[in-house]
Amino acid sequence: MREPSLLHLAIFGSSLPFLFDPRLDQTASDSFWKYTKRHVFVETAEEPSYASLEASTILTLDLSGMTNGPQVAGRLAVITKLAFNLRAVDDLVLRPSAQTDEQNSQISNPGFKQHARLFWAIYALDSFISITTRQPPGLDEHTLRYFLPTRDKAWESDRSGQHHDSWPRPDNLPMSPELTFLHLLKLLDVSRDVHRVYLEYLILPEDDDARALCWLTMFTEHVKAIDMWLQRWSSSVIVGIRSPSASPAAVMQHAYGQALLIYSNGLVEFCDQPSLALHILEIQEDAQRRCAECVETITNIASSFVDLMGDQLGWPFAWSMWIAARYLLVAAFHRSTALQPQFHTLLNYTHEMGLYWQISKKYWWLLRRAEHALRMRNAAVDQDVPRILTSIVNLRVPTSDLEDQFRVDPVLARLKGPQDIPPRSIDAASTGEFGPAEMEAVNLDVYDRSVFGPGGHLSETWFSMPLFASSAHQQFPGDDGSGGTGREMGWEFSS
């Protein structure tokens, strides 16, 4: 009956989506997760220590698999600020725990390697989340300078004899977890630079050719960096990826690298920046070709591995599929063509991964609604384009804003059962055919009817409904971008 450690609470709380014990029904799982989250986060805020920061990092990772919106930004800001204290200054380090001396005597003091590894775990989390936003990473260059010189040493393999500066060969697969994570960090170094390209793109002046050429140089350099990483990765482990026994980490990293190419090249292919228009004509065709190749690669990876190891692939793999599927939507919208077949494959697999990561179900829902809006737009030329479609095809709008602005309210969703849904197609919600009284019922099925079991009872998949009720974004009354009243997707925007 002794109170578990913060680490035990964090690990068990984050593992709930992967546990299928019948005793863990929705109420029990949700209650325990809320207790865990609040206990760990309050402890971290009030009594910073290595133990509380370690547990808070795990819970922030768990939250990031549910949302990348403002609700996770606060937690990420706390751990990135506290991460600076993991450095050693004048032989002083962050205290191991806030427990009493008697309790603390049973806790081993983490050494240099443990401090460094926790820092780089926070770095990885910061990189994964920040690229979904329009915000720069929380860990700045000043903080990184303290830890970069010792990064390779921190991730030297404790076994297997693999060295940190060598890329693995097909004959010595699999890689050790330490070496795999070190190569992930190298990819995330590139992803942060790619995200910087995106942020610079957002603030380019319309009539500054010098800035435009500078941005284009930056773009070219960072795309080459992704190519170099993928080339080394492919030549060393692509053989292993083709194997049914491939490492989930290797699969996720390869898909993530491909998604980064789409993320960056898409800005050039569908450029809306006047100052760049004349300078990118020569490379737009190449950008289109590269994006198409990457979409095909991600689709093939998803087809090969989601069914085999969907529960072992992290939510960044779902993000990779989302980036590829969003690109196909943007291409179909701007070219006024039908969606490529890969779109529906990716749509199905984002839905499948939604069993483990709530954010993947949100990607699926956004894609599904946007696809319906695109079909309606193609069928009727004079029809107003729903705001969800105009937002998704605008590459200036980051993923986190899309995911947060089009958020459903789980409180309203639980008020009615499936039998109360109007008999008309649920897709009609996005066309505005439902009246206000029907909109509340539409809220119920805004994610998926499979959330509910027989008789309209909620399933035991406790995280199937959205974690947070309301968006952090406030729309001006009557200004939802489509001339409507803010009810376009079946709910009102709340403050």
pLDDT (tens digit, 9 = 90+) per residue, 373-415? 888 887 776 667 788 899 999 999 999 999 888 876 554 444 4
- Cβ–Cβ < 8 Å for 194, 222: yes
Does 227 score more than 80 pLDDT?
A: yes
Residue 475 banded pLDDT, cuts 50, 70, 90: very low
Q: Which of 471, 431, 463 is nearest to 447 (CA)?
A: 463
Burial state string for 102-132 with b = 16 or more CB within 10 A and e = fewer than 16: eeeeeeeebeeebbbbbbbbbbbbbbbbbbb
Measured distance CA(270)–CA(330) in Å, rounded: 8
Burial class (CB in 10 A: 0-12, 13-18, 19+), 41: buried
Lowest average pLDDT, out of 21-35, 112-126, 200-214, 447-461, goes to 447-461
Measured distance CA(121)–CA(181) in Å, rounded: 9
pLDDT in tens, 292-301: 999 999 999 9
- Cβ–Cβ < 8 Å for 308, 244: yes
Residue 489 banded pLDDT, cuts 50, 70, 90: very low
pLDDT in tens, 148-180: 988 888 887 655 445 545 555 444 456 778 888
pTM assigned to the model: 0.80
Does 428 score more than 60 pLDDT?
A: no
Q: Identify the pLDDT of residue 85.
A: 85
pLDDT in tens, 232-264: 766 555 444 555 567 888 889 999 999 999 999
Lowest average pLDDT, out of 11-25, 290-304, 437-451, goes to 437-451
Measured distance CA(442)–CA(446) in Å, rounded: 6
Percentage of residues in the chain with pLDDT exceeding 70? 71
Residues, the chain: 495
Task: Using alpha carbons only, give the angle 182, 357, 188 rounded to the nearest 5 degrees.
Answer: 25
- Cβ–Cβ < 8 Å for 434, 490: yes
Lowest average pLDDT, out of 2-16, 315-329, 344-358, 479-493, goes to 479-493
Q: Identify the pLDDT of residue 415.
A: 45
Measured distance CA(467)–CA(473) in Å, rounded: 16
Measured distance CA(163)–CA(296) in Å, rounded: 33
Positive or negative, the CA dihedral 264, 268, 270, 271 is positive
Lowest average pLDDT, out of 238-247, 272-281, 468-477, goes to 468-477
